[in-house]
């Protein structure tokens, strides 16, 4: 069993880890969005402005905007009891997080600050990041995960007079587009979820993570780290057969892992593509990634506000529910209904999805 590397004071942490068998993006996108690379695993996380957080070494305080509801985001994260990358207990979220080059692993507790518009991130176990840059990376990850940096006021102003979105923003006020900051994880999740229901997608994800991810024990709990592309790229379809998914999906996962391990596919290259359509085209050129998966990844990982998985069955069902339609809307009907969502398509979709669970 390997352990996370000793801290600079020479003490080996108790957390034990072991491997298992008006811009082109849209006017709301910041040209510096996700612009600073803080690690190879979490490249392109925004550097966190000093005014948006406080570093207390053992814990971090992240200030959040008024249009932020920890309760709504927590409710979203509880949509599946089969989630394997984090636990939720007593209104607190626990997860393991690789920092730096992925050799240092921390376990964090995320909770709402009492009587303050803030979220507290506390480091558990013996491994407390000594370097301020690593604590800043943890802060940046959580801010990106919860999409704390997006100003939702313009979205709420638009949605308040939109017949499709009005009820959604009233019901789920403060909900954020909960992201998947790691590109490989986002792509794998998109592929795993193709043409199956959400329940089985979570089952496949758990099998994949527990077969090829890293396991961490901390304070009597087991945590899992999503596999890195380098750990998957050298495998073959036979190695993935135990996951009990289609051969095609196995091939798609391997193809993506190889592209990322070779550096041919990165967040940097997608962001530098020049616009939403160019980035979408880069992704759909990869075998197994169609428009739905591409837009899903651009929406959940790269935070492109105009990314729009218009073919999503869940979106169709949500629109049918909200409008009381007898049949699901056609794509042309959805285009007309979404005409006012310009540069908010991602958030509109995310809020409508929330009606489904």
- Active-site residues, by number, are 312
Q: Tokens representing 104?
A: 């240092």
Residue 304 and residue 27: Cα distance in Å, rounded? 10
The C-alpha angle with vertex 281 and arms to 313 and 228, in degrees rounded to 5, equals 80
Q: Where are the beta strands (DSSP E) in 151-302?
A: 214-218, 221-225
Structure-token pair, residue 182: 């790691």
Range 328-337 contact pairs with CB under 8 angstroms and sequence separation of 24 or more: 334/310, 335/310, 337/164
Look at the block and give the residue holding tokens 């006021």: 153
Nearest C-alpha neighbor of 144 from the set 274, 53, 256: 53
Q: How far apart are CA 193 and CA 182, in angstroms?
A: 17
- Give CA separation, 226 vs 162, 180, 200, 245, 342, in Å: 38, 11, 18, 18, 34
Q: Report the C-alpha gap between 201 and 184 in whole angstroms.
A: 16
Residue 122 pairs in a beta bridge with: 59, 109
3-state helix, strand, coil in the chain (%, to 5): 40, 15, 45
The helix or strand, by DSSP H or E, that contains position 118, with its residue range, turns out to be: strand 118-124
Q: Are 201 and 242 in contact (CB under 8 A)?
A: no
Residue 88 burial (CB count, 10 A): 16
Tokens 């979709």: give the residue.
349
**266, 184 in Cβ contact below 8 A?**
no
In Å, the largest CA–CA distance within the chain is: 66
d(CA 240, CA 234) in angstroms, rounded, equals: 11
């Amino acid at each position: 069993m390997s352990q996370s590397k000793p801290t600079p004071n020479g003490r080996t942490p108790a957390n034990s880890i072991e491997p298992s068998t008006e811009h082109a993006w849209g006017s709301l996108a910041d040209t510096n969005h996700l612009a600073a690379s803080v690690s190879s695993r979490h490249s392109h996380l925004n550097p966190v402005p000093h005014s948006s957080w406080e570093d207390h070494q053992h814990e971090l305080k992240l200030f959040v905007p008024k249009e932020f509801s920890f309760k709504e985001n927590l409710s979203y994260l509880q949509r599946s009891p089969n989630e394997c990358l984090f636990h939720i207990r007593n209104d607190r979220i626990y997860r393991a997080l690789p920092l730096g080059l992925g050799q240092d692993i921390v376990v964090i507790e995320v909770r709402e600050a009492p009587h303050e518009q803030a979220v507290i991130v506390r480091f558990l176990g013996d491994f407390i990041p000594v370097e301020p840059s690593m604590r800043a990376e943890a802060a940046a990850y959580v801010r990106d995960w919860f999409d704390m940096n997006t100003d939702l006021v313009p979205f709420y102003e638009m949605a308040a007079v939109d017949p499709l979105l009005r009820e959604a923003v009233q019901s789920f006020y403060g909900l954020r587009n909960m992201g998947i900051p790691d590109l490989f994880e986002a792509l794998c999740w998109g592929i795993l979820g193709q043409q199956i229901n959400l329940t089985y997608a979570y089952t496949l994800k758990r099998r994949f993570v527990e077969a090829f991810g890293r396991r961490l024990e901390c304070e009597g709990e087991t945590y899992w780290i999503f596999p890195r592309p380098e750990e998957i790229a050298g495998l073959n379809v036979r190695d993935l057969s135990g996951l009990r998914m289609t051969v095609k999906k196995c091939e798609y996962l391997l193809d993506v892992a190889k592209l990322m391990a070779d550096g041919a596919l990165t967040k940097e290259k997608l962001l530098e593509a020049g616009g939403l359509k160019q980035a979408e085209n880069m992704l759909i050129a990869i075998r197994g990634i169609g428009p739905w998966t591409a837009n899903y990844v651009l929406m959940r990982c790269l935070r492109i506000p105009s990314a729009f998985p218009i073919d999503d069955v869940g979106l169709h069902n949500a629109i049918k529910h909200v409008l009381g339609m007898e049949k699901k809307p056609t794509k042309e009907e959805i285009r007309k209904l979404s005409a006012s969502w310009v540069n908010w398509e991602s958030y509109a979709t995310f809020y409508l999805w929330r009606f489904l669970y």
